[in-house]
Structure 1
């Protein structure tokens, strides 16, 4: 949001300066009146702060909505227990889950509607959770703590970053499968935190755009998690692309 706003600000200031000069020329001579386009530009520069206010207001609303969606379900936990609170959080985020010892999946539909039958399983913990393409972040992950998760899918989650990966250590005793593919904010620093997941058997790191040397990173991941099958699609894995950052990334992933 900051970059487009700064770009708009520069554009408006330049246009304002240009038009002020032109207005002085127009006032001192009998030149042709400004065109409709130039008058529109002048009006926009005069309304710049209104536009800036609207953009900031929109950004604040988005931030508040994200914070609300990822809020900790303390009241639900106190009233119905930890398992129901976790299940309710997942469904409210338009995710899906499966209880331990059951084959049925509970999930929301495209409108966010879901069956309330999950409340009949108060004593069952969540074993598999699919939060693909939701807005879950590191704060929202707190709602899943306490469940013996074996599978966690975070595919295409734009709010999942290195801080979120660092929090996954709470599942180190149970987590076997993790999908963090297509998450645009994950870097080598976040992947280094996965060393705590010693029980991990499958890891999907496909199409992470912020990895500058994916071929090297994948090799180091396999070294760091020797019993884990690493899936990495969507990369050019040839080492001809490796530049001067490979040594730095290697040290960061190894943690030394």
Structure 2
């Protein structure tokens, strides 16, 4: 009897251990699920359209505030340097709000499809750096056609979700003069480069099999001077 009790006691301990492990794995799974939900919520909140700001201060000020809130940089027409830091009603934005935004640096920022709502109304934007944006995809890239009348410099280097399908939508950007697609993973990069060159004959393209050293990630040129801005 003592041996039988010892045997059942051992089995009970093992079953108890399995139950505790099961609860632990369930709690870890629940924690990871909530963490993913929180991450998606923060991403949506970060990329929410700044509709009230646009109505109150105009599209350029709203785009500037959105960019700063993402950790990026802004240049208004006539500015020499980048405006960075803080996503609130920066005093300099309020002073510049009647002038157009000509350059945005959103490199490495969590910009997604929804966040493009804050950019596509800009009529004087000539310089846009979207390099290393982890959430930028082909659908978001297709929305850049709204900037086709002004955009001259575009950087998409090392955006992991951009494919040849997104690059194909860039043919709308006929004013483009510099395009950096370094590190974009596409099949037959040389062919994709040729197609881009045919679609954008006046544009200097960096990346996608560029033998001139462009794959090292040449930074896009500075925005044009105020005199040459649209």
Q: For residues 236 and 73 of structure 1, do their structure 2 counterparts lie closer, same or farther at Cα, with a shift above 3 Å needed?
A: closer
Q: For residues 103 and 236 of structure 1, do their structure 2 counterparts lie closer, same or farther at Cα, with a shift above 3 Å needed?
A: closer
Number of the residue aligned with 2:226: none
2:179 aligns to what SS in structure 1? strand
Whole-angstrom distance in 1 between the partners of 2:72 and 2:107: 7
Number of the residue aligned with 1:120: 95
2:106/2:131 contact within 8 Å kept: yes
**TM-score, reference length from structure 1:** 0.72
- Whether 1:188 aligns to 2:164 is yes
**Cα drift, residue 157 of structure 1:** 0.1
Number of the residue aligned with 2:188: 213
2:103 aligns to what SS in structure 1? strand
Structure-to-structure mapping, 1:16-95, within 5 angstroms: 43-95=20-72
**TM-score, reference length from structure 2:** 0.79
Number of the residue aligned with 1:174: 150
Whole-angstrom distance in 1 between the partners of 2:184 and 2:6: 60
- Whether 1:163 aligns to 2:147 is no
Q: Please, which moves more after superposition, 130-139 or 95-104? A: 95-104
Q: For residues 113 and 75 of structure 1, do their structure 2 counterparts lie closer, same or farther at Cα, with a shift above 3 Å needed?
A: closer
Matched residue count? 206
Q: For residues 77 and 236 of structure 1, do their structure 2 counterparts lie closer, same or farther at Cα, with a shift above 3 Å needed?
A: closer
- Whether 1:140 aligns to 2:115 is yes
1:91/1:114 contact within 8 Å kept: no
Whole-angstrom distance in 1 between the partners of 2:137 and 2:152: 20
Whole-angstrom distance in 2 between the partners of 1:198 and 1:41: 64
1:169/1:196 contact within 8 Å kept: yes
**Cα drift, residue 86 of structure 1:** 1.4
**Cα drift, residue 221 of structure 1:** 1.2
1:107/1:114 contact within 8 Å kept: no
Whole-angstrom distance in 1 between the partners of 2:118 and 2:188: 34
Cα deviation 1:31-78 (Å, max 9, x = unaligned): 9x69x9x98676333433222221111111111100000111111122
Number of the residue aligned with 1:224: 199
1:203 aligns to what SS in structure 2? strand
**Cα drift, residue 146 of structure 1:** 2.5
Structure 1, gaps ≥5 residues long: 1-26, 238-256
Q: For residues 41 and 178 of structure 1, do their structure 2 counterparts lie closer, same or farther at Cα, with a shift above 3 Å needed?
A: farther
**Cα drift, residue 193 of structure 1:** 0.4
Structure 2, gaps ≥5 residues long: 212-230
2:65/2:88 contact within 8 Å kept: no
1:60 aligns to what SS in structure 2? helix
